[in-house]
Structure 1
Amino acid sequence: MQFELQYLLLALAPVFLGFIAWEAWYLQSRGARFPSARYTWPDTLSNAALALMHEGAEAVAAIVLIYVYDAVFAIRLFDIPATWWSFILLFVLQDFCYYWFHRGSHRIRWMWASHVVHHSSESLNLSTAFRQSLTYPVSGMWLFWLPVILVGFTPQQAVTMVMLSLAFQFFIHTQVVKRLGWLEAVFNTPSHHRVHHARNPEYIDKNFAGILIIWDKVFGTFVAEKEELPCEYGVVKQVRSHNPLILTFHEWRDMWRDACAPGLTLGGRLRALFGPPESAPSEALTQVRTKAPLNATST
Structure 2
Amino acid sequence: MESFTKLLLFVTGVVVVVSLIEAVVLSRRKSASSPFAWYEVWISLFDLAARRLMSLLPISVATPIFSFVYDHRIFTVDINSALMVFALFIGMEFCYYWYHRASHRVRFFWATHAVHHSPNQLTLSTAYRLGLTGKLTGSTLFFAPLVWLGVKPEVVLFTLFLNLMYQGWLHTTYIPKLGWFEYVFNTPSAHRVHHASNVDYLDANYGGVLIIFDRLFGTYVEERADEPCRYGLVTPTTSRNPLVVEFEHWATLIRDVVKAKSPWIAINHVIQPPGWLPDGGGETTEELRRKSKHDGATGAVNG
Number of the residue aligned with 1:24:
23
Stretch moving more, 147-156 or 56-65: 56-65
The equivalences for 1:115-264 within 5 A come to 115-261=113-259, 264=261
Deviation at 1:96, TM superposition (A): 0.7
RMSD of aligned residue pairs (Cα, Å): 2.5
Contact 2:106 2:272 in 1 (8 A): yes
**Do the aligned partners of residues 103 and 235 (structure 1) sit closer, same or farther apart at CA in structure 2, a change above 3 Å counting?**
same
**Do the aligned partners of residues 62 and 85 (structure 1) sit closer, same or farther apart at CA in structure 2, a change above 3 Å counting?**
farther
Deviation at 1:156, TM superposition (A): 1.2
Deviation at 1:39, TM superposition (A): 4.3
Stretch moving more, 140-149 or 274-283: 274-283
Contact 1:115 1:132 in 2 (8 A): yes
Number of the residue aligned with 1:297:
none
Deviation at 1:52, TM superposition (A): 1.5
Deviation at 1:261, TM superposition (A): 1.2
5+ residue gaps, structure 2, are 293-303
Number of the residue aligned with 1:53:
50
Return the TM-score normalized by structure 2: 0.87
Number of the residue aligned with 2:76:
79
Secondary structure at the aligned position of 1:101 is classed as helix
- Higher CA-based Rg: 2
Contact 1:125 1:174 in 2 (8 A): yes
Secondary structure at the aligned position of 2:77 is classed as coil
1:51-88 deviation digits (Å, cap 9, x = unpaired): 11223334435766334323321221112222211111
**Do the aligned partners of residues 154 and 226 (structure 1) sit closer, same or farther apart at CA in structure 2, a change above 3 Å counting?**
same
Contact 2:62 2:138 in 1 (8 A): no
Return the TM-score normalized by structure 1: 0.88
Aligned partners of 2:52, 2:278: CA distance in 1, in Å?
Answer: 33
Stretch moving more, 268-277 or 222-231: 268-277
**Number of corresponding residues:** 288
Contact 2:115 2:245 in 1 (8 A): yes
Secondary structure at the aligned position of 1:279 is classed as coil
**Do the aligned partners of residues 61 and 184 (structure 1) sit closer, same or farther apart at CA in structure 2, a change above 3 Å counting?**
farther
Matching residue's letter, 2:41: T
Contact 1:258 1:282 in 2 (8 A): no
Matching residue's letter, 2:13: P
5+ residue gaps, structure 1, are 294-299
Secondary structure at the aligned position of 2:200 is classed as coil
Residue 96, structure 1, aligned to residue 94, structure 2: yes
Aligned partners of 1:28, 1:256: CA distance in 2, in Å?
Answer: 38
Aligned partners of 2:107, 2:16: CA distance in 1, in Å?
Answer: 32
Deviation at 1:202, TM superposition (A): 0.2
Stretch moving more, 198-207 or 62-71: 62-71
